[in-house]
Amino acid sequence: MVSLDIEAGDLAVLRFHQPYAADDERAYLAALERLALMAHPFVLLAIFGGGPALSREGEKGQALWFKRTRAQMEERCRACAMVRPGATEESAVMFRRLWSFPFLASPDEATARDFVERHRPSRTTQPETHAL
């Protein structure tokens, strides 16, 4: 199952976990595209269940998305936390090479939520509601 929810206007929560479905890879790549369309500052909480890896095409699509949207993500994303079973500090190294915004990899959702909460734009500015 893949979902992308925007909570209180500036917290994007991307989920990719059980129950897995045949179209999850397509839905995941579409969710990434939705993130790229966000026109205001946000933080990202990505929750992965440790399920099947992306196909070769999916990995290519994800890599192309990273490359194509890097400037947009650098401008708008204030922080990202990735929740994944077995995630360690070493898990974050590659993502920190991709982006300069704060990044955390953790197996614990509460720890990840606390991290992104500290970076939420609405904590330092007036909260706004924006359509995706």
Over residues 15-62, the pLDDT tens digits come to 999 888 899 999 999 999 999 999 999 999 999 998 878 999 999 999
**pTM score, whole prediction:** 0.88
Asked if 78 and 42 count as a contact pair (C-beta separation under 8 A), the reply is yes
Mean pLDDT of the chain: 90
Task: Output the pLDDT for position 65.
Answer: 96
Average pLDDT for 70-91: 93
Residue 76: pLDDT band (50, 70, 90) is very high
30's CB contacts (< 8 A; 6+ apart) are none
Sheet holding 77-83, edge to edge: 2-7, 11-16, 42-48, 77-83, 103-106
Task: Output the pLDDT for position 61.
Answer: 96
